[in-house]
Amino acid sequence: MPAHVLLLGGTTEARRLAADLAARPGIRVTTSLAGRVARPGAVAGELRTGGFGGADGLADWLRAHRVTALVDATHPFAESITANAARAAAVTGVPLVVLRRPGWRPDPGDRWYCVPSVRAAAGTLPRLGRRVFLSTGRLGLAAFAHLTDLHFVVRSVDPPGPPLPPQTELVLARGPFTVAGETELLRTHRIEVLVTKDSGGEATAAKLTAARELALPVVVVRRPALPRGVTAVPDEAGVLERLGLSPL
């Protein structure tokens, strides 16, 4: 019976881990995606898509598919699935490894305003600037919809649904992004303030460098806490080590 790893994905790290695990004899890897993105990139190994039906549904899936290790490599802001993974692992006894890439850190001189939620980010905006680059993803934009006097440039992979702020320009794009490209975008749209989640990682960090070079204020939404008792590893090497695997 091969080991079966269920990899909760939706991130670059999850895709890289799937490729690593799928290349190892004796390991079966299934990546699980929520199904939010219309055309997700290809993943190595097996793929399943859609919610499990809460922690109980995930626990049932782990049992039914004889999963021997659960890896939560979801986005740092995917709070519900991380909570469900912790509960499902606890009730089934399947070992859980959580991968959380480190958060971003400001450089000296950066003008960061760290806030606890997207709603709080909206509250800071009117005093920081009127032309806003919003890169918090397409969900949660309703928190900004009442800001009718501000002009928003919203970037997301797929088009967002309503409600949106009335003055919204859409930029549909998928990372990774470059500093030159981000600087150009901020300049072209005459952006005065940037709003981002503290997603961490390289793929979307260029906007912070661009904002730094243009001396723009940045509103940073802090990450939700991990479930009680759960600790995370910061990278793929940490996951492999917890799974008892050597680097390929």
Binding site for ligand NAP (CB under 6 A): 8-11, 32-34, 36, 51-54, 57-58, 74-75, 77-81, 84, 137, 197
One-letter amino acid at 20 equals D
- Nearer Cβ to ligand NAP, position 158 or 184? 158
User: In the numeric block, which tokens belong to residue 16?
Assistant: 């890289």
- Nearer Cβ to ligand NAP, position 74 or 200? 74
- Nearer Cβ to ligand NAP, position 22 or 84? 84
CB of 215 to ligand NAP, least distance (A): 27
- Nearer Cβ to ligand NAP, position 60 or 241? 60
Q: Do residues 190 and 131 make contact, with C-beta atoms less than 8 angstroms apart? A: yes
Backbone angles phi, psi at 235, to 5 degrees: -155, 180
Sign, CA torsion 182/185/190/194: negative
One-letter amino acid at 156 equals S
What's the DSSP call for residue 66?
T
- Nearer Cβ to ligand NAP, position 8 or 147? 8
CB of 87 to ligand NAP, least distance (A): 11
CB of 130 to ligand NAP, least distance (A): 25
CB of 7 to ligand NAP, least distance (A): 8
| HEC assignment per residue over 81-136 | HHHHHHHHHHHHCCCEEEECCCCCCCCCCCCEEEECCHHHHHHHHHHHCCEEEECC
User: In the numeric block, which tokens belong to residue 126?
Assistant: 């009117």
- Nearer Cβ to ligand NAP, position 151 or 207? 207
What's the DSSP call for residue 71?
E
User: In the numeric block, which tokens belong to residue 198?
Assistant: 């503290």
CB of 237 to ligand NAP, least distance (A): 20
Measured in whole angstroms, how far is the alpha carbon of residue 19 from the centre of its chain? 19
CB of 214 to ligand NAP, least distance (A): 24
Query: Quick one: which of 98, 123, 128 has its CA closest to 193?
Result: 128
